[in-house]
């Protein structure tokens, strides 16, 4: 099994990688790095590590620690969607069946409703820039994805890990390959209140 990954180590690596991207390639390289998913995968590994430290059998974590392939594509009411991290049950087994409701009516569900409802699913998100511009879209997606699963499996346990910077990197400074922070502080409270 790969080494466990501490959240603080992940955050330090993300900050270092972002600042290297800025000084080497400016705003363009920073944006490319964020879009590459390399940064957010560090948070995935930290969350998996926390589950293991809390006593979850590493075999029950999908994808496994150290891997990004193997996400479970779970069927909801409207659509099937890959889940970032799933904890699968010990005492139930996948049971292929056909969906009996929603937009997936009649479609094959590899896992079955009972198995799916006993999975703990955690999605990992980040918004490292353009916070103010993307607030509505981010929350529409967050609510829609949980609604999709809960309309079919109302007892399912869902979680979100959201990485939001308190201070954003200054876009204009980054264009000049300089590291600086924007004058404004992110509205963390707005994000938290929208989740309640």
Q: What is the mean pLDDT of residues 170-196?
A: 79
Q: Decide which of 183 and 180 is more confident.
A: 180
pLDDT value for 1: 65
Q: Is residue 64 part of a domain?
A: yes
The answer to the question of residue 126 being in a domain is: yes
The total number of structural domains that make up the chain? 1
Local confidence band at 72 (pLDDT 50, 70, 90 cut-offs): very high
Q: How far, in Å, CA of 138 to CA of 68, rounded?
A: 22
Structural domain range at position 45: 7-195
The pLDDT tens digits of the residues spanning 82-141 come to: 999 999 999 999 999 999 989 999 999 999 999 999 999 999 988 776 666 666 777 777
Judged by phi (left if over 0) then psi (alpha if -120 to 50, else beta), residue 26 lies in left
Which segments within 54-131 are labelled E, that is strand? 61-62, 73-75, 80-82, 85-87, 97-98, 108-109, 120-126
Give domain status of residue 70, yes or no: yes
Query: Residue range 64-77: average pLDDT?
Result: 95
Check residues 143 and 103 and name the one with the higher pLDDT: 103
- Of 53 and 3, the structure prediction assigns the larger pLDDT to 53
DSSP string, 152-170: H-TT-EEEEEEE--SEEEP
pLDDT tens per residue, range 11-70: 999 999 999 999 999 999 999 998 898 999 999 999 999 999 999 999 999 999 999 999
Measured N-to-C along each axis, helices 38-53 and 7-35 cross at an angle, to the nearest 10 degrees, of: 150
**Contact status, residue 71 vs residue 63, Cβ threshold 8 Å:** yes
- Residue 93 belongs to a domain: yes
In a domain, 171, yes or no: yes
The confidence score (pLDDT) of residue 49 equals 96
Please check whether residue 2 lies inside any domain of the structure: no
24 is a domain residue: yes
Tell me, what's the pLDDT at 163? 85
pLDDT at 126: 81
**Contact predicate 102/116, CB 8 Å:** no
């Amino acid at each position: 099994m790969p080494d466990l990954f501490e959240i603080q180590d992940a955050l330090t690596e993300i900050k270092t990688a972002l600042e290297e991207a800025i000084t080497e390639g400016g705003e363009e390289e920073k944006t490319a790095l964020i879009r590459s998913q390399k940064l957010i995968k560090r948070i995935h590994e930290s969350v998996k590590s926390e589950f293991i430290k809390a006593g979850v059998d590493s075999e029950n974590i999908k994808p496994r620690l150290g891997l990004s392939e193997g996400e479970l594509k779970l069927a909801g009411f409207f659509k099937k969607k890959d889940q970032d991290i799933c904890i699968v049950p010990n005492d139930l087994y996948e049971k292929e069946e056909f969906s009996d409701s929603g937009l997936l009516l009649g479609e094959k569900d590899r896992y079955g409703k009972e198995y799916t409802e006993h999975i703990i699913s955690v999605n990992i998100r980040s918004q490292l820039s353009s916070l103010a511009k993307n607030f509505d879209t981010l929350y529409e997606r967050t609510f829609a994805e949980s609604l999709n699963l809960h309309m079919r499996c109302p007892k399912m346990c869902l979680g979100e890990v959201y990485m939001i910077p308190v201070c954003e990197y200054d876009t204009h400074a980054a264009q000049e390959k300089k590291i600086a922070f924007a004058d404004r502080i992110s509205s963390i409270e707005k994000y938290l209140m929208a989740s309640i």
